[in-house]
Structures are given as structure tokens and as C-alpha cells.
A and B are shown apart, each in its own frame.
Chain A
Amino acid sequence: MKTHDLTSLLEAMFHQSKEMILFVDRHGEIVYMNAEAEKTLDLSDYDRNQFINICGHCMGMAASGDPDCTTCFLMSKEKLTFQVYMRTRYGKRVTYIANFQQIDPENNISVFTLNPLSELMKQQEFEHQKLLTQRIIQAQENERKRISRDLHDGVTQELLNVLLEMRLFKYTKDREELDEKIEDSEEMLSHLLDYIRNISVELRPASLDDLGVEAALKTHFKWLQKQYGILVDFNTNLNKKRYRPEIETVIYRIIQEAAFNAVKYSGSDEIMVNLKEAGSYNGIEIHFEIEDEGAGFLMGAEPKGSGLGLFGMHERISSVDGELNIDSEPGRGTKVEGYIPVGERIV
């Protein structure tokens, strides 16, 4: 081990540390503080008396919500990782993660260290972002798997069947038999056409671009009914009006997602969807509402699926400056509502 003086190392740490380190006595008088603390808790705003006591800077602990002094850390010998509000040199209230520990029982001196919470939050945010990205990649991969399977199982297989059938044509001498084979192939091809059309509509309906959101939704709800046996009560006053493509896409995708959630999780046989254009003092707005009277869920509970659906809905709506609100209660059903400012229509 290199011979370094521990005292000098500790001193260097004390002065250079990026966390605030303060030594206080049992009344909260500050005995020493490091440069970071001096920089953050500036004395210029306060008179000297205030400055020498920690209570002049501390705004209470943040156990649950409001700052609170009833269980002050000064009264304990040791208190680890708690939240505390401090007043900084600009008079701002900042949250810190603090540790408080008595180090000299004889003189009743304790060390008080503070780390800004925002740094910690940044780390958490980063971790969260990473997790989210992983999930999005996973969802993307699943979607590709689904499309690939649809193409392989449906399209490739059927095409192969037709191909085999057609190869037999040239060996079929009997006219009647040949006619039958041709008819069979025709049938297979028409099924295949149907199948491909279905895949393509599921991915993104052409009617959304060609005919607008109202027509696309109507087709989608018809499909929902055929696929899952769900009735959709669709009310709209859009009357074939058109809006900017990104707005129409957002409306379509959000309503689609909310309706899907209702189909998947509500257990209800019927969904109500309202889509209305309304004027407000700052222009035209589109209001939408997707409601079911099914199982509902506890707001804030762990999501049943990936949780990406709700995330995507919020992301989409904020991309067009709209607002989205979800209201649910177990046993009472779920209501998703929101609006999007559209500026102007497209004629």
C-alpha cells in the first residue's frame, strides 16, 4: 500500500466532493461544510445567524408529500437515505437524498451528506428509457414475426398449392377433369387474394389515405365484429371531412388501440365510440371517446399486456398537441377520451 496520509485524503475528498457534506452539532449548528455546500447554500441571501444553523437551510423532510419537521433527523443518531428539501442560493427549493450519521458521540457531532435527487432521477429515467426501448424492439420483432408467419403460412402455402395444381394441367387429357382443376385453382387464387387483402388492411388500411378516418374506422369496426364478435356503436359527425394525414393517423391508431384494449380486456360485448368535430375559441377540435362497460382496471396498476399500448397512445397524442385521458374503475368499465386541435380542414 502506498503511504498516503489518510487525513489529507479525507480532506481532499471533503473539499472536492460533488455531494454536500456538513458537520453539525446536536443543535444543528454547522461546524464545517465543504465547498459544494458553500456553493449551493450561499450565505449572501441570509444573515449570519441563519447561516450557521442547518435549520436555516432545511425546509423539512419529504416523507410523503409536504415538507415536514415532526421527525427531524437531528433527533436521531442515524438516519439513512431519506428525502429532504433544502433552500439553495437562488431561494429555490430543491429535493435531496440525504444521510445523517453521528460520528462523534462525545461532542455530539454528526455528518450530514446531501445528493441532489434530480441526478438520481436522471439515472432512473435512463434505466426506464432503456427498458422501454427494449420493449419497443421486442414489440417490433413480434410484429415482424406475425407478418412473416402470415406470409409464410398463408400466402406461400396457398401459392404452392395453386402451383402444384397448375402443373397438373398439362397432364390432364380429359377436358372435364381439366375444367374442374382450373376451377379449383381459380377458387384458391381468389381465397389468396382475399387473404392478402386482409393482411394489408390489418397493417394499414388504404382507405385511411383515400377516404379518411371515418371510412377507415367503419371498415375497422366491421372487421372487429367479424373477427371477435364485438359490436361497436359508432357515432360521428365528421361526415367525410378530411384533416391533415398525421392527424387522421393519430385518431385512427388511438381509437384502434383503445378499441382493441376493450376487446381484449373488458369482457364486454359492446363498445361505444364517439368521434366529433367541435369548434372552440382557438379553432376546430376533434373530440373522441371510446367507452365500454366491462371489467375496468385499477388505475396505476401493473398493465396486463406490455404496457406499450397506453404509452403509444400518449406518445401519438402529444405529437399532435392533443390531450388524452383514461378513466377506469374495476367493475365499472373504461373510458378513453381526448381531443386534438386540428387547425384547419382539408377540402
Chain B
Amino acid sequence: MDNSTTYQIEIPASTSNLADVRKFVGVHATGFGFKENEVEEIKLAVDEALTNVIKHAYKFDDSKTIYISVGLQGREFWVAIQDTGAPFEPQNYTEPNIPERVKKGLKGGVGVYLIKRLVDKVEYNKKSQHNEIKLIKKL
């Protein structure tokens, strides 16, 4: 994988495809030279972002499509996830109080919290009809 190459896949918005995307991202992250634990971090961050798209942007409508691409920029590995559903508004995001969520029996709601701790940078972009979340990890 050199700096000019990007790899892309597209999947129906179904959780049944999460494992395949983790594998796809894992192969490229490993190829770029990340250590095993870092590859696991990237795979988890991508899984959380995809799950949010399936759940929130597309509301489990598996007729919709998610576009995933990976590439390099210098010593940085990036994964971009695009959808055409309801956009995530990062300015409205507040960090969850996890002990309080546990106390109230609230399931999850911690995906973005995890993503921010697993990669070095998270960018949200709007490109015409597409929403994009870009996860960046430095080697």
C-alpha cells in the first residue's frame, strides 16, 4: 500500500457486514505496519462508526449503502465512512457519563466516546449528499 492508493468497498447497511469490514480494515492497517493492538483499535473504531451509521443515519434500513475507503497520507492511515442518511451533528455531542448510564440501565451510547480514544483524529465532513466520518491514526 503506497501513498497514492486508496481501497474502497461498499456494503448494505446491515450489522451482518460488520465483521467483513473489520477484516478489510484490519488487513490494510496491518499492511501499513501497525502493531496488533493498534490494528484492533482501528477495527473497533471503524465498527463503532459503522454501527452508528446503520443505527442512527439509516435506522437499520439495509436497502441503504455505506461506502468505506482506506488510504495513507504520509505516516497517517485514514478510514473514511460515507453515508447518505441523517447527518450526525458533532456540535451537539456531549460526552456520556458512563457510571450514570450504567446506573440508569441505558444500553450503549458510548460509541463516539470510544472512537475518540481509539484513533488520533476524527473529522466530520459533509460532501453534497454524503456525510463522511474520517478516522485517522498515526503510525
A binds B: no
Name A's B-contacting residues (CB within 8 A).
none
